[in-house]
Structure formats: C-alpha cells, structure tokens
A and B are shown apart, each in its own frame.
Chain A
Amino acid sequence: GNSVTQMEGPVTLSEEAFLTINCTYTATGYPSLFWYVQYPGEGLQLLLKATKADDKGSNKGFEATYRKETTSFHLEKGSVQVSDSAVYFCALRGGADKLIFGTGTRLQVFP
C-alpha cells in the first residue's frame, strides 16, 4: 500500500543554516506530493506541493523536487529562521483525495 517515510527529529539548527528534511514514499502510480507545516498550537497548513515527476514546489524559501527515480520529495531551505520552528509533514495524495502522512519532523531553530 501507499506510505510515506520521514527522517526522525528533532532537527536542531542555528539561524541561517541550511535545512534538509528527507521524505521518501511508496505508492502505486504517480501520486501528488505535499509538505504541510504545523506551528505550535495550530492546525496544518499547506507549505508546497508537486503533482508530477520533476516538478519543484516552492514557497516561503522552501523547495522540494518530486524525484520519481528515487521516490523522494526532500524539503530544503537555504537559510532557516527562528520563525521556521515547527513540525513538518510530508504527505502523498492517495486515491480519491485521501492524504497519507509521514510521522512528522520537528524543526527547532535557535538564534
């Protein structure tokens, strides 16, 4: 069946450091892929998405590229800020609009 695997956290970085959060998936066909972000005490918000192989999603300085050959959708940001501290979820869209989430990766950024 479909599944998503994320790197375990927490990821701890200093401000302006480079961020990578790994995400790989198992799926039949070519699912759409998403990164959601959850700030403390809030619900999830869509951060970026990609719908087909080699698509690059980007938003707020974050990027992720849909890699079909490695079944990956790693999240990257060149220079993180304290305000980026949150939990990040990778997800794939399975059949009929259902989302399958990874376990989430907590990012902590210190000044």
Chain B
Amino acid sequence: DAEITQSPRHKITETGRQVTLACHQTWNHNNMFWYRQDLGHGLRLIHYSYGVQDTNKGEVSDGYSVSRSNTEDLPLTLESAASSQTSVYFCASSGGGDRAYNEQFFGPGTRLTVL
C-alpha cells in the first residue's frame, strides 16, 4: 500500500545545531507540504513543492529550508535550531492538478524538541 513516512519520530537537539527531518511518500504525488503544529495555532504551512526542483515558502518559512531532488522525498532542514522551533512537524502529499477535492495525505509526524 502507498504511504507517507517521516523520520525520526522523535528528536531532541540543541540550540544552534542543524537538523534534517525526512519525509518519504510512495503515492507518486507531485505535491508535498511541510507543516508545524502548535497549540493555539493549528497547522501552519512551512514550505511546499509542486514537483522536482520546485520549492516555495509558506506562512512560517524563516529558519527552514527544503529541497526536492526526486518525487518521493522532501527533507526539511532547520539551519540553526532555535527553541521557538520546538514543535510537531507533519509532512503531507497530494496528487496535484487543480482538482477541487484534492486530498492531502499526512505522515505520522515528528516531535522535535530544541533545548
């Protein structure tokens, strides 16, 4: 069965370190998204990609970067981790095109703690 996976599921790091969160999908979806989930804010879009070599900034992109070298993967990098980036991170993918009912499929999440 097709799926979307994230790794690691839990990560503790220190302020100033570079951290990369992995996202891998086997749906063969064009679109991939990274969100962060914080209490009182719901999910906020960090970065997204509509295909290989395409990346775009979302609502809360400062301090984060992504790259898309193939269809399956969209790793999220925190260049220099800050305590404000302690959060739960979700990756999602969708089939693309302009279908009004496009469903996004979500990974299980990565809980990141920055000390």
Contact = CB atoms under 8 A, between A and B. Distances in A.
Contacts of B48: 98
B103 A43 contact: no
Nearest to B6: A43
Interface stretch (B13-21, B38-46, B63-71, B75-83): B38-46
Interface in A42-97: 42-46, 49, 51-52, 89, 93, 96-97
Nearest to B88: A43
* Main DSSP-derived SS at the A contact region: mixed
A101 interface: yes
A97 B31 contact: yes
A46 B103 contact: yes
A19 B88 CA distance: 28
A93 B102 contact: yes
A97 B106 contact: no
Scoring A45, A49, A98 by chain B CB atoms within 10 A of each residue's CB, the highest score goes to A98
B108 A42 contact: yes
Interface in B81-115: 90, 92, 94, 96, 98, 100-104, 106-109
A99 B104 contact: yes
B76 to A, nearest CB: 15
A32 to B, nearest CB: 5
8 contacts: A43-B108, A44-B92, A49-B103, A97-B31, A97-B50, A98-B48, A99-B33, A101-B43
